[in-house]
Structure 1
Amino acid sequence: MHALKEDIVFRCMYVTDGSAAGEDVELESIDVGDGPGVRQGVQRFRFESGPPTQSAIEASGGPLEVAGLYLSALYRGKEFCRVGYYVRHDYDDPTLQEDPPATVDWTRLRRVLSEPCVTKFQIPWDTTEEAGRKRLREEEAGFEGATLVG
């Protein structure tokens, strides 16, 4: 809706332990903007990340446990949007899925993501704190019913 003075940072995070703060593993991050700043209007970019390492998956309880993955959007170090997914690994063979081998066969696993869960946070943008809150209320009114496509 408005040009921003600084870039937006997007981070792809893997949750290794949902009960421990700060234990998330950053898989990738990018700055989006005109360096510095983001112009007004629709912005398109491609954000790709590699998968978590086997050790990160094992730290989250192993490949057959449910873990988490989220994309986080930050402006001036403040998170304003998070798109989260539950992640599980299934065997590509129903027989293996029902009766998993004692030793994990990583070559037969596939990653399955849940439907996205979008959370928005209020932050001060480029205005004073009070004016920023008013602008956020106006923006949220405009975002009701919007759909995030991933």
Structure 2
Amino acid sequence: MAKVQVANVTVLDNPSQFCNPIQFEITFECIEELKEDLEWKMIYVGCAESEEFDQILDTIYVGPIPEGRHMFVFQADPPDTSRIPVNDALGVTVVLLTCSYRKQEFVRVGYFINNEYSEQELRENPPPQPQFDKVIRNILADKPRVTRFKINWDDGSNSLGTNITEGIEAQSTVEESTQDVPSAFTENTQNSMEVM
């Protein structure tokens, strides 16, 4: 059983100018004390066809974690626009929140983002080079996609083999069922944070 459950994620300052920081308020529950840190990452998918353009916007470490309910705001600078392909600058992309314990990812929450110009004229006649200072970022906050992976939470090595194998099988099942989804974004059947 997972020792950490994400209870809620709230997108802050949304919609927002593309160049503003991206902010999430994350609430999670820990069913027993964790002696080591949780590693949280925020990843911006720059291009659906290639992970080469994914950007880790920030990584933070939270811990050690006492038993109970915890909440924090995860804020990161916007993506580096020079690393986003021109053809993928506008339209729909994805931002991912991942959490790992002992370098084992156990949860991934993904949100679709719609980037478009705030001015009608620019939407109808987009310039050849994107003008990010005039782009509005809208994170589709009510439609998160949640993926969970089984990991080994314990110090003991007795259960390590079983748990790692189960984790690999769980990940393979998710990836096989979502072949048409961008490689950096796996999808679960659970579409609401309320069912977490």
Q: Fold match, TM over 0.5? A: yes
Q: Is the 8 A contact 2:151 2:163 kept in 1?
A: no
Q: CA deviation at 1:146?
A: 5.9
User: Which residue pairs with 1:55 in the alignment?
Assistant: 82
* 2:78 is aligned with 1:31: no
SS in structure 2 of the partner of residue 107 of structure 1: helix
The aligned counterpart of 1:142 is: none
Q: 1:57: Cα distance to partner? A: 2.4
Which residue identity is paired with 1:57?
I
Provide the rounded CA distance (Å) in 2 between the counterparts of 1:99 and 1:148: 42
User: Greater share of strand residues, 1 or 2?
Assistant: 2
- Pair 1:21–1:57, CA change in 2 (3 A): closer
Residue 110 of structure 1: how far off its partner (Å): 0.9
Aligned to 2:134: 108
Structure 1 residue corresponding to 2:152, chosen from 101, 124, 132:
124
**CA separation of 1:101 and 1:17: change in aligned 2, threshold 3 A:** closer
Q: Distance in 1 between matches of 2:193 and 2:54?
A: 28
The question of whether the paired residues in 2 share the 8 Å contact of 1:71 and 1:83 is answered with yes
CA–CA distance in structure 1, aligned partners of residues 52 and 84 of structure 2: 16
Give CA deviations for 1:18-66 in whole Å, capped at 9, x if unaligned.
34356521110100113xxx2111122221101001112237x332143
AA in 2 matched with 1:42: R
Residue number among 37, 59, 62 corresponding to 1:7 in the alignment: 37
State TM-score, norm by structure 1. 0.74
Displacement after TM superposition at 1:111 (Å): 0.9
Q: What count of residue pairs does the alignment treat as equivalent?
A: 134
Give the whole-Å Cα distance in 1 for the aligned partners of 2:82 and 2:51.
Answer: 19
Given the alignment of the two structures, is residue 98 of structure 1 paired with residue 124 of structure 2, yes or no? Answer: yes
Gap regions ≥5 residues in structure 2? 1-30, 167-191
Aligned-partner SS, 2:59: strand
Match for residue 71 of structure 1?
A: 97
Q: Larger Cα Rg: Structure 1 or Structure 2?
A: 1
Deviation at 1:73, TM superposition (A): 0.3
Q: Which moved more, 1:24-33 or 1:64-73?
A: 64-73
Report 1 or 2 for greater relative contact order, CA contacts < 8 Å, sequence distance ≥ 6.
2
Residues 13 and 71, structure 1, Cα contact 8 Å, conserved in 2: yes
Deviation at 1:81, TM superposition (A): 0.7
3-state DSSP class of the match of 1:44? strand
* Counterpart contact for 2:109–2:147, Cα < 8 Å: yes
1:78-130 deviation per Cα after TM superposition (whole angstroms, max 9, x unaligned): 11111112223111123322332334222211112223211111111115345
